[in-house]
Amino acid sequence: MTYTSKATVLRSALLPAALVLLAAGQAPAQASAPRHGVQGDWLYLTVTRGDSRSSDTRGTLLLCDPPQGHAHAAEACAELGAAGGDIDAIPAEGVMCPMIYAPVTAHAHGEWKGRPVDYRRTFSNGCAMAAHTGEVFALDT
């Protein structure tokens, strides 16, 4: 004769029910949570100095709900908000940049108002990049 305690019988009966409840409770939360784990408007920004083989790359995660993640987050988020998240739509500043070729590649990927963002552009130098992208890629200061 096999002895089984009441606690063992109760656990074996409740375990499947608990698993079903856990699975049912987690399904809606997983469906509504973003797959990348970041909510709101965000961009991962990198700036690479030199040619494509260069290892001089700096990067940061810019979060805009609330602004955080880089030295000029509030300004960068405001510029992106005014441009609808389109970096190319940020108004260029009227500055005179030196005619020195020191290429800088700016890259951003992320999400703005639920739409994916993937931006990559190489500028002749850092001054030209700053003139066209405002505070968004101001990672050095």
Question: 17-70 pLDDT, tens per residue?
Answer: 433 333 444 433 333 334 455 678 999 999 999 876 767 889 999 999 999 998
Q: What is the pLDDT of residue 39?
A: 72
Strands (E) located in 65-99:
67-68
- C-alpha distances (whole Å) from 58 to each of 26, 51, 127, 137 are 37, 14, 16, 10
